[in-house]
């Protein structure tokens, strides 16, 4: 028996007894939404994980490999004849190619994000030792970059990338991160540093990015949805600012008839649920009501919704039953919001446990050690069984 067949057999036996039409993706699909998993480049060499993704999930998100700082190629950009940026797609193409070959859709994540953005991109000749480029140049570069990236993946893997997070985390949380009185809370600072897109593209950089993306999708004639994505998007104050930003973007450009041109299709709610690095605030039923209210609020304003990076945090090894109960109740709500409702996808980034992760690390705090649907060995937990029963 071939190795991949052995892996598939072991994984199938490990999963709960699922009848035909009862894989995770088939059950969520029956309720009208996709279910997604994360994929890092390192996991491309984990055959057991790849089998789980291809068999059980209808969507995947590359964790870092489609972000600007992963794609942009400084040397090639410096040598480009037209002065526009150039990308290296080698790694991302392998990952999107895997998705295409297994019939899994891809969330494009992410085109414009100020965090970790490469400083050299904003300088003359893509050289950090030279002055920063003027606004016209940075806008031209960003338009070209967005057009090239969307076009590359659509032409290379037609129909595989079904949506893009065009802009990520552009809403600030605290005073000092945005201009006082700005209802959008448009981020000017992150961790004390400048948002370089805001500084060198201008305060309308979010709208500009969506305009470039919309123009590209329409020119391609592609069925690609355009999303704004952010964390804490189910908290009322943050949701209010996100809606203010989205509506300002959708009033930014006019169509041929002089009507506002809708640039944003949907809102991505990252969906990290519970305390950051602490059990306090985890597995509270009130969060499910907040998620429902936020989704309905975005829908009332005309936006579809995806939960894009969900982790149901749990830092307590003794709370497995409570974690399973919470997951079941959460999916009971989510299935009601699918179908003809606004919910289009749920992507789970806290998919597995991390029991050996040192306390206080980014992975420990963000996804939690016991928050997965699967163990660290990809064995289904009670939480997964309960979710499957709920979807049935």
pLDDT digits (tens, 9 = 90+) for 232-279: 999 999 999 999 999 999 999 999 999 999 999 999 999 999 999 999
Q: How many domains does the chain have?
A: 1
d(CA 145, CA 141): 6
Mean of all residue pLDDT scores within the chain: 95
* CB-based contacts of 68, cutoff 8 Å, min separation 6: 110, 111, 112, 113, 117, 118, 121, 145
**Burial (Cβ within 10 Å: 0-12, 13-18, ≥19) of residue 192:** exposed
Retrieve residue 230's tokens.
């952010």
Q: What is the DSSP letter of 275?
A: -
Domain that holds residue 171: 3-391
DSSP state string for 75-121: HHHHH-TTS---B--HHHHHHHHHHHHTT-EEEEEEEE--TT--GGG
Question: pTM for the full model?
Answer: 0.94
* CB-based contacts of 89, cutoff 8 Å, min separation 6: 71, 152, 156
Q: Domain holding 124: CATH number?
A: 3.20.20.80
Confidence at residue 236, expressed as pLDDT on a 0 to 100 scale: 98
Secondary element (H or E) of residue 62 = strand 59-62
pLDDT by residue (tens digit) across 22-75? Answer: 899 999 999 999 999 999 999 999 999 999 999 999 999 999 999 999 999 999
Q: Using the predicted structure, report yes or no on whether residue 2 has a pLDDT greater than 60.
A: no
d(CA 304, CA 220): 22
| CA nearest to 353, candidates 386, 390, 383 | 383
């Amino acid at each position: 028996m071939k190795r991949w067949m052995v892996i598939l057999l072991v994984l199938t036996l490990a999963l709960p007894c699922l009848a035909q039409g009862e894989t995770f993706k088939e059950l969520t699909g029956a309720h009208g939404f996709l279910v997604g998993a994360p994929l890092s480049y390192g996991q491309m060499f984990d055959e057991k994980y790849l089998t789980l993704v291809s068999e059980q999930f209808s969507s995947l998100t590359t964790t870092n490999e489609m972000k600007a700082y992963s794609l942009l190629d400084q040397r090639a950009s410096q040598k480009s004849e037209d002065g526009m940026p150039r990308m290296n797609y080698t790694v991302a193409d392998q990952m999107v190619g895997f998705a295409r070959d297994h019939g899994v859709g891809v969330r494009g994540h992410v085109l414009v994000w100020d965090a970790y953005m490469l400083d050299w991109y904003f300088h003359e000749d893509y050289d950090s030792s030279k002055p920063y480029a003027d606004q016209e140049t940075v806008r031209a570069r960003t338009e070209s970059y967005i057009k090239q990236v969307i076009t590359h993946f659509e032409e290379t893997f037609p129909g595989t990338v079904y949506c893009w997070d065009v802009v990520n985390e552009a809403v600030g949380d605290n005073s000092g991160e945005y201009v006082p009185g700005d209802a959008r809370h448009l981020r000017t600072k992150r961790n004390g540093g400048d948002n370089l897109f805001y500084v060198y593209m201008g305060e309308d950089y979010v709208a500009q990015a969506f305009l470039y993306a919309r123009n590209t999708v329409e020119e391609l004639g592609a069925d690609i949805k355009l999303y704004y994505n952010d964390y804490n998007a189910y908290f009322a104050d943050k949701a209010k600012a996100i809606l203010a930003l989205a509506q300002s973007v959708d009033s930014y450009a006019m169509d041929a008839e002089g009507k506002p041109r809708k640039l944003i299709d949907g809102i991505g709610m990252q969906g990290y649920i519970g305390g950051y690095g602490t059990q306090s605030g985890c597995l509270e039923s009130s969060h499910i009501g907040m998620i429902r209210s936020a989704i309905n609020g975005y829908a009332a304003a005309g936006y579809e919704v995806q939960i894009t990076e969900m982790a149901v945090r749990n830092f307590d090894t003794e709370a497995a039953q409570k974690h399973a109960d919470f997951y079941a109740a959460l999916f009971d709500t989510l299935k009601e919001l699918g179908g003809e409702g606004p919910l289009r996808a749920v992507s789970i980034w806290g998919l597995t446990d991390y029991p050996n992760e040192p306390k206080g690390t980014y992975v420990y705090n963000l996804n939690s050690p016991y928050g997965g649907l699967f163990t660290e060995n990809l064995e289904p937990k009670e939480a997964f069984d309960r979710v499957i029963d709920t979807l049935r």
